[in-house]
Amino acid sequence: MTEHETPAWFADAQCLGLPTAWWHPEKLGDAEPGGYNDVYRQARIVCNGCPVREQCLDHAIEHRETNGMWGGRTPRQRRGDARTKLRALICGHCSKRFRSSHGRASYCSVSCRRAASKRRERATA
């Protein structure tokens, strides 16, 4: 989490007021105090109990944050999360696989989104 990003859900962030270095050890001179495995230990404990963890992780993936812990996930883990989200997308209209930078789109294209909404209109008419 960074100080200048303030989406609405951040008001509920459990990391508010806690040391930034827990989430951003890369900002310290020594990026690996006590060994890399342990570098996010404090942050992970806080993230695990955070009510906006999902939003936080989505935000980091959408904004391609390469540093720090977000949503309880390390930069390396997030790269895997992003791939999983991209892989998982299948168009709700034409069933084609497609990629989305934010991982929440339901249709592969504007035309598929329009076609799907027309189909819904016909179904309810």
CA–CA separation, 24 and 40 (whole Å): 8
Cβ proximity of 59 and 5 under 8 Å: yes
- Please report, for residues 28, 73, 101, 108, the alpha-carbon distance to residue 33 in angstroms, rounded to integers and kept in the order given: 9, 18, 33, 44
Of the residues 22, 25, 39, 56, which one makes contact with ligand SF4 according to CB under 6 A: 56
CA–CA separation, 43 and 73 (whole Å): 10
**Nearer to ligand SF4 (CB atom), residue 6 or residue 106:** 6
115: partner contacted, choices Zn ion, ligand SF4, none (Cβ within 5-8 A by kind): none
61: partner contacted, choices Zn ion, ligand SF4, none (Cβ within 5-8 A by kind): none
Footprint (CB under 5 A) of Zn ion, residues 103-122: 108, 112
| Shortest distance, position 65 Cβ to ligand SF4, whole Å | 10
